[in-house]
């Protein structure tokens, strides 16, 4: 496995520096992710608990307004844009973009506070946090190479997105249940896979000590784990959430 071979080829002093730097890097990744989650949760709660604000995104019949549709698909467009632009952005600009993305994501998720009870949302968030922490920790400490899972998981993710878009028009309860089950499995796997990939990428580039790269790498890692957590939460909410 690449990460362990890389460590063995360096001296004891360098290895200790990498280990210390890796801990700092992972703390930065989780810190950025946590701030983004707070932004998303704050925006979603503020809009979702205000009938006046939510009416901008949803009409009285429960359907989405034109702005609601824009907000729904905006996060996906922003993710692709972020991936294309990050090499041209400064660290500060990339961080600001990440938090702006988190705020837009909060807008797109505001509806859950009108559909599900606050208690069930909090309960699902707690369950998701425990599951995410366990999966991410396993991805970090396991000596098993998870890179082979990447292609399989990404193919499953593409299929999941296509099925979800199709079901927006079909409205099939059976398909919705299947999507939720598969979604939980895919994002559980991605949580462990992405955590190990963040660790591996750091070890492979740590000796260069390119602070600009390390900073942007932390943001991209935080974005990946943020998306894993949020999608895991949303799919679990379909099972654990109590509707108003």
Reduced 3-state DSSP string for the chain: CHHHHHHHCCCHHHHHHHHHHHHHHHHHHHHHHHHHHHHHHHHHHHHHCCHHHHHHHECCCCCECHHHHHHHHHHHHHHHHHHHHHHHCCHHHHHHHHHHHHHHHHHHCCCHHHHECHHHHHHHHHHHHHHHHHHHHHHHHCCCCCCCHHHHHHHHHHHHHHHHHHHHHHCCHHHHHHHHHHHHHHHHHHHHHHHHHHHHHHHHHHHHCCHHHHHHHHHHHHHHHHHHHHHHHHHHHHHHCCEC
pLDDT of residue 17: 62
Q: What is the mean pLDDT of residues 60-67?
A: 77
Q: What is the mean pLDDT of residues 122-143?
A: 95
| CA pair distance 127, 87, nearest whole angstrom | 36
End-to-end C-alpha distance for the chain, whole angstroms: 49
pLDDT of residue 210: 65
pLDDT of residue 242: 76
* pTM, 2 dp: 0.86
Q: What is the mean pLDDT of residues 43-55?
A: 90
Q: Chain-wide mean pLDDT for the chain?
A: 86
Q: Among 128-132, 136-140, 144-148, 190-194, which is the least confidently predicted range?
A: 144-148
- If pLDDT is split at 50, 70 and 90, which confidence band does 235 have? very high
CA of 56: how far to CAs of 66, 67, 68, 110, 155, in Å?
9, 7, 7, 11, 35
pLDDT of residue 10: 46
- If pLDDT is split at 50, 70 and 90, which confidence band does 14 have? low
pLDDT in tens, 152-197: 898 999 998 898 888 777 777 888 888 889 999 999 999 999 999 9
pLDDT of residue 244: 65
Domain boundaries, the chain: 2-240
Higher-confidence residue of 63 and 158: namely 158
pLDDT in tens, 199-228: 988 887 766 656 677 788 899 999 999 999
């Amino acid at each position: 496995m690449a990460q362990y071979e890389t460590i063995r080829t360096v001296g004891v002093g360098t290895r200790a520096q990498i280990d210390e730097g890796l801990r700092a890097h992972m703390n930065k990744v989780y810190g950025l992710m946590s701030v983004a989650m707070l932004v998303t949760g704050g925006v979603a709660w503020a809009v979702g608990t205000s009938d006046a604000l939510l009416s901008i995104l949803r009409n009285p019949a429960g359907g989405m307004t034109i702005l609601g549709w824009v907000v729904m698909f905006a996060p996906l467009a922003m993710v692709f844009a972020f991936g294309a632009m990050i090499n041209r952005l400064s660290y500060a600009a990339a961080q600001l973009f990440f938090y702006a993305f988190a705020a837009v994501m909060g807008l797109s998720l505001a509806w859950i506070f009108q559909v599900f009870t606050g208690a069930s949302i909090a309960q699902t968030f707690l369950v998701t946090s425990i599951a995410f922490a366990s999966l991410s920790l396993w991805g970090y400490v396991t000596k098993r190479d998870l890179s082979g899972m990447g292609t399989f998981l990404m193919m499953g993710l593409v299929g999941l997105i296509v099925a979800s878009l199709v079901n927006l028009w079909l409205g099939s309860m059976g398909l919705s249940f299947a999507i939720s089950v598969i979604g939980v499995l895919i994002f559980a796997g991605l949580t462990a896979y992405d955590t190990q990939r963040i660790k591996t990428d750091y070890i492979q580039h740590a000796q260069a000590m390119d602070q600009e790269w390390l900073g942007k790498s932390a943001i991209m890692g935080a974005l990946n784990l943020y998306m894993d957590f949020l999608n895991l939460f949303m799919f679990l909410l379909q099972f654990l959430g109590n509707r108003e």
